[in-house]
Amino acid sequence: MKITRIEPLLVGAPTPGCGLLSNRNYFFIIVHTDEGICGLGEATLESHDDSILGCLSDLNDIVVGKDPTRIANLMQALIRQRFWKGGVVKASAISGIELACWDIIGKAANKPVYELLGGACRDRIRVYANGWTGGATDPAVIKDKAAEALAYGYQAFKFSLAVPTWPIRDSGVVRQIRRAAETIRNAVGPDAPLLFDGHGRYDTQLAIQVGQALEDLNLMFYEEPVQPENEEGMALVAQRVNIPIAAGERLTRLQEFRRLLEKRAICIAQPDLAHCHGLLEGLKIAHLAEAFDGFVAPHCPMSPVITSISLHLDAVAPNFLIQERLFLNDWRNEVITTPLQVKDGYLDLPKGPGWGIELDLDLCRQHPRIVAGTPTLHRPDGAICDW
């Protein structure tokens, strides 16, 4: 089997109430083969669509003509056969290709991908909702949003508070975060897993203040209290705050996770399969975390495609903790032909070959790529995007 072409597919998927993220496009990658089997991957990296398109064009000659079933060989070529490493942009482009190849292998074998990786450790996957507050800070609105997410089937919730913050000792922001956390805890009950994401907004001392203010609310984890490259600062937060620390969404290689785990800066690794060079690297990261008595909780605030893909890693990783999922209660949940449904806080494992999903191409074409808030025109031949 040989790869014949890489097809990028951009779908305009605005996120209401989320500022810059409102211009988000889903960036799907479809890999075609000479045997008619196509694989689906995702490389969504908001605000960097053109960069990924350029990177795919540059990598095209490495990929076309290669055997998609030799993933390890192809990955070495994609990572090493260009001088510049490329950071998260190149890693995302490579991730989308790698994920599509796994889909091809599963379809060719007529098996779900997780069955090709040793079989599932679990039959359903625990999930938490992200983005369910819609950016609200008013306690009454937060309470209503929590009721909506609970009715949708979620039983675990992550929240963040994107408010202006002084760099050090901003007691007003600490109190604001505390009030929001109390409101959410009261709305979802004492036992529902609750998670807080700092998005790396704080310096080390303020991150410690925020964490200590939340300790008695029984949080499952405190995500990105400081920037992930601030390994010493994150380790200090982990020492001073009695909440498990999680990070990894902005990391792309195993070695970056190793440094955080060795410093005991995190106990929960959060690789994003759309950015960390794909499934194989994500599985290595999960095993590395296990060696440090840690857990894996894949990052995933994008489309149902990458959520479905992440379920396969969740199924096989013995140290899996919980899966992130963006709260989608609109057409975005239907870009795959069998939409995901949360039941009692869990998602069922896909049963079909490959990832077990297919894109609804008609629906995708109804939502063309967004550029600076304005949809682009289709090409005359109907394609949504090109190089």
Active site residues: 199, 299
CA distances from 244 to 36, 222, 290, 377 (A): 46, 6, 15, 47
| Helix, strand or coil, per DSSP, at residue 4 | strand
* Adjacency order of strands within the sheet including 38-42: 3-12, 25-33, 38-42
Closest CA to 257 of 248, 249, 244, 246: 248
Residue 217 is given by DSSP the state G
User: Torsions phi, psi of 30, nearest 5?
Assistant: -110, 120
Residues 6+ apart with CB under 8 A from 84: 90
Contact 28, 359 (CB under 8 A): yes
Q: Is the dihedral of CA 139, 143, 149, 154 positive or negative?
A: positive
Helix, strand and coil in the chain, % to nearest 5: 40, 15, 45
Q: For residues 192 and 186, what is the distance between their CA atoms, to the nearest angstrom? A: 10
27-60 in b/e form (b: 16+ CB < 10 A) is bbbbbbbeeebbbbbbbbbbebbebbbebbeebe
User: Any idea what the Cα angle at residue 382 is, between residues 372 and 26, rounded to 5°?
Assistant: 40
Q: For residues 99 and 250, what is the distance between their CA atoms, to the nearest angstrom? A: 18
**What's the distance, Cα to Cα, between the start and end of the chain in Å?**
25
Q: For residues 219 and 155, what is the distance between their CA atoms, to the nearest angstrom? A: 13
Rg, Å, the chain Cα set = 20
E-only strand ranges, the chain: 3-12, 25-33, 38-42, 124-130, 157-159, 194-197, 221-223, 245-247, 268-269, 295-296, 323-326, 346-348, 370-371, 374-375
